[in-house]
Amino acid sequence: MQNISTNQHESRVAFVLGGSGGIGAEIVERLADNGFAVAVHYSGNKSKADSLVNQIVNQGGKAISIGGDVADEVDMVKAFTFVEEHFGGIDVVINTAGIMLLSPIAEVSLDDLDKMHRTNIRGTFVIAQQASRRVRKGGAIINFSTTVTRTQLPTYGAYVASKAAVESITLILARELRGKDITVNTVAPGPTATPLFLDGKDEQTITNIANYSPSERLGSPKDIAETVLFLATSGRWINGQVIFTNGGFA
């Protein structure tokens, strides 16, 4: 379940759920570049997570990888405990883990709906519970939604329903953690040039989507990682918010 590639240190510690994915991996690298010890979570791609850990360690950083199902509370208790035992505590929890299955509402498979709700909603609750109990004073919890909660695009109904729930969980948790000096925010990216987004789209479709933004380009994982880094470090006066990181897409 775990891969350990460094000894315990005194750095600030970030636990990135979905850290082996496109945006997640960029966040991991950005945090490591800024001195964080990073725990890289993966669901199925252990080799990618381990490769990222090795890259960070070879550059003098501190990183470990750990697998598990974000919607399984037993897995996540073990994962959070492992990170705490290895690094001495947790300061920032970033939950990028999620799945997206698209279909018109009239045709959506209820099995697909259940899969998204399990990962995107139950998973967010499981992570939020562990993070709210374990993140140290001065820390941050950062969830992930999507700009599509505001653009109302066809075929996104079931997915958006799950991500709208993430936004609501965030707003309430921020207020429930009153007095603990822990911020809770959600980052809601617009169209971002990751393999997941680009897969199955022809060049003209991608160009049309990019041109919809005033910036006339897609976002990059680096754009999203910069927002996360700000919330994880100096953005202490931002709390209980949904940050639409989309270049003006909506």
Q: What is the pLDDT of residues 77-119, one digit of tens each?
A: 999 999 999 999 999 999 999 999 999 999 999 999 999 999 9
Q: How would you label 6-22 residue by residue, b for 16+ Cβ within 10 Å and e otherwise?
A: beeeebbbbbbbbbbbb
Q: How many angstroms separate the CA atoms of 145 and 149, rounded?
A: 8
The active-site residue, picked from 42, 156, 159, 212, is: 159
pTM score of the predicted model = 0.92
In this predicted structure, the answer to whether residue 211 has a pLDDT above a threshold of 60 is yes
Higher pLDDT, 37 or 248: 37
Q: How would you label 155-171 residue by residue, b for 16+ Cβ within 10 Å and e otherwise?
A: ebbbbbbbbbbbbebbe
Report residue 250's pLDDT band, with 50, 70 and 90 as the boundaries. Answer: low
pLDDT for 249 equals 77
The C-alpha angle with vertex 171 and arms to 175 and 163, in degrees rounded to 5, equals 155
pLDDT for 9 equals 42
Higher pLDDT, 181 or 199: 181
pLDDT for 2 equals 53
Stretch 188-211: mean pLDDT: 77
Report residue 7's pLDDT band, with 50, 70 and 90 as the boundaries. Answer: very low
Alpha carbon distances (Å) from 87 to 25, 100, 105: 20, 32, 45
pLDDT for 32 equals 98
Report residue 1's pLDDT band, with 50, 70 and 90 as the boundaries. Answer: low
Over residues 13-72, the pLDDT tens digits come to 999 999 998 899 999 999 999 999 999 999 988 999 999 999 999 999 999 999 999 999
Q: How many angstroms separate the CA atoms of 56 and 98, rounded?
A: 24
Over residues 132-158, the pLDDT tens digits come to 999 999 999 999 999 999 988 899 999
Q: Which CATH number does 2-244 carry?
A: 3.40.50.720
Q: How, if at all, do strands 13-17 and 90-95 pair? A: parallel
In this predicted structure, the answer to whether residue 76 has a pLDDT above a threshold of 60 is yes
Higher pLDDT, 2 or 108: 108
Domain ranges (residues) in the chain: 2-244
Q: Mark whether 159 is an active-site residue.
A: yes
